[in-house]
């Protein structure tokens, strides 16, 4: 991991993964790419649409990239509003990344999967080898990504890896159109307006994770010894699970006047199709995954940073 290229650099995760990669001693260069010009604080940037295979392949050659973190994607809620776009970016775009990576001789390709691979038929507390029956184009694209990652591994020796991230909570960059965005928006609205209208019911429980832990998970899977990985493209990584009601109570510990309202919309159906919690024992055993933040420590840290940011 000397010369790394990140797609989707401007997004919620990319904007925090890039500085974390730049701090690592073995990393010399991080090339930040996105469909919009990235705003990297240091290091090269390129405006690349992952649907343009030639442009992506040219960047791999130009910078002699050895590792790619492929983050460019259309997330669940936006994907349901724009399924054709989600297909082009998440499925065709990922195929471009795989093919260009294979032709270039990439050493490693890290691509996050998601709890969106699961569906209503998935059993409670699913492990890795469970029923994957997604109802969203986003979830379907993530199942495709896991299987294609394994296929390129078996057939072409391309070292593809990934973890199934839960909903990510962070204060630097707003999320880009997912079903779990309410767990971030509630913090902003608690500070800016003193109230928030959740777009899911108060008892909707979903797996979530603070950004610092998500960065650890991505770098952890990227640097794990390959022979320790039984499920290289599909590890569950859990941290916390909570309902909007529990999140509201945690915020009220700091801001007692915060008021929550609940107006479920079409995203409720997506949330209901995902499990409340996941079994991540394989990641903990195989490559030492562990999380740091619980609901209380995450809430305190989010509020502290957002109070500073929003004034």
Alpha-carbon span 123 to 167, nearest angstrom: 19
Query: For ligand SER, which is the closer residue by CB, 14 or 178?
Result: 178
Determine phi and psi for 71, rounding to 5 degrees. -110, -10
Alpha-carbon span 126 to 290, nearest angstrom: 18
| Residue 297: alpha-carbon gap to chain centroid | 21
Specify the 3-state DSSP secondary structure of 279.
Answer: coil
Kindly state the tokens that stand for 86: 């989600």
Minimum CB separation of residue 12 from ligand SER in Å reads 9
262 is catalytic: no
Q: Which does 112 bind (CB under 5 to 8 A by kind): ligand NAD, ligand SER, none?
A: ligand NAD
Determine phi and psi for 64, rounding to 5 degrees. 50, 55
For residues 218 and 209, the answer to whether their CB atoms sit within 8 Å is no
**Which position among 138, 152, 182, 293 bears the catalytic label?**
138
Q: Which does 76 bind (CB under 5 to 8 A by kind): ligand NAD, ligand SER, none?
A: ligand SER
Alpha-carbon span 119 to 293, nearest angstrom: 27
Residue choice 18, 31, 75, 110 for contact with ligand NAD (CB under 6 A): 75
The candidate with the shortest Cα–Cα distance to 269, out of 199, 177, 208, is 199
Residue choice 112, 126, 238, 275 for contact with ligand NAD (CB under 6 A): 112
Residue nearest to ligand SER (CB): 178
For residues 99 and 65, the answer to whether their CB atoms sit within 8 Å is no
Q: Does residue 178 bind ligand NAD (CB under 6 A)? A: yes
Number of residues that this document lists for the chain: 311
Kindly state the tokens that stand for 47: 């405006």
Q: Does residue 191 bind ligand NAD (CB under 6 A)? A: no
Residues of this chain that bind ligand SER (CB under 6 A): 75-76, 114-116, 138, 167, 178-180
To the nearest 10 degrees (0 to 180), the angle between helices 244-252 and 295-310 is: 60
Query: For ligand SER, which is the closer residue by CB, 1 or 298?
Result: 298
Query: For ligand SER, which is the closer residue by CB, 57 or 212?
Result: 212
Q: Nearest 5°: CA angle at 105, between 129 and 145?
A: 25
Residue choice 4, 5, 8, 186 for contact with ligand NAD (CB under 6 A): 8
Query: For ligand SER, which is the closer residue by CB, 17 or 115?
Result: 115
Q: Which does 93 bind (CB under 5 to 8 A by kind): ligand SER, ligand NAD, none?
A: ligand NAD
Q: Does residue 79 bind ligand NAD (CB under 6 A)? A: no
Binding to ligand NAD in span 23-62, by CB under 6 A: 34-36, 49-51
For residues 277 and 238, the answer to whether their CB atoms sit within 8 Å is yes
- The CA–CA distances, whole Å, from 274 to 79, 132, 171 equal 16, 10, 24
Minimum CB separation of residue 266 from ligand SER in Å reads 13
Query: For ligand SER, which is the closer residue by CB, 46 or 80?
Result: 80
Q: Does residue 72 bind ligand NAD (CB under 6 A)? A: yes
Q: Which does 179 bind (CB under 5 to 8 A by kind): ligand SER, ligand NAD, none?
A: ligand SER
Write out the catalytic residue numbers: 138
Task: List residues near ligand NAD by CB under 6 A.
Answer: 7-8, 10-14, 34-36, 49-51, 71-73, 75, 89, 93, 112, 114, 165, 167-168, 175-178, 180
């Amino acid at each position: 991991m000397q010369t790394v290229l990140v797609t989707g650099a401007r997004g919620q995760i990319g904007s925090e993964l890039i500085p974390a990669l730049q701090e690592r001693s073995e990393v010399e260069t991080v090339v930040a790419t996105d469909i919009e010009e990235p705003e990297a604080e240091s290091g090269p940037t390129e405006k690349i649409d992952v649907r343009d295979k030639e442009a992506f392949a040219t960047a791999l050659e130009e910078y002699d990239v050895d590792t790619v973190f492929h983050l460019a994607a259309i997330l669940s809620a936006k994907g349901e509003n724009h399924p054709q776009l989600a297909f082009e970016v998440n499925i065709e775009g990922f195929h471009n990344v795989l093919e260009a990576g294979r032709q270039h001789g990439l050493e490693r390709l890290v691509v996050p999967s998601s709890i969106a691979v699961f569906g209503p038929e998935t059993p409670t507390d699913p492990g890795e080898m469970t029923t994957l029956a997604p109802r969203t184009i986003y979830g379907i694209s993530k199942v495709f990504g896991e299987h294609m990652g394994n296929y390129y591994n078996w057939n072409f020796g391309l070292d593809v890896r990934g973890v199934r991230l839960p909903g990510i909570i962070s204060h630097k960059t707003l999320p880009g159109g997912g079903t779990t965005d309410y767990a971030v928006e509630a913090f902003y609205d608690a500070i800016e307006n003193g109230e928030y209208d959740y777009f899911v019911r108060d008892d909707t429980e979903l797996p979530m994770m603070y950004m610092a832990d998500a960065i650890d998970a991505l770098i952890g899977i990227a640097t794990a010894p390959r022979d320790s990985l039984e499920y290289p493209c599909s590890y569950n990584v859990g941290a916390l699970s909570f309902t909007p009601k529990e999140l509201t109570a945690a915020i009220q510990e700091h801001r007692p006047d915060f008021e929550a309202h609940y107006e479920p919309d079409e995203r409720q159906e997506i949330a209901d199709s995902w499990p409340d919690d996941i079994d991540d024992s394989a990641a903990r055993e195989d490559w030492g995954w562990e999380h740091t933040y619980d609901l209380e420590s995450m809430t305190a840290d989010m509020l502290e940073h957002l109070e500073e940011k929003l004034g």
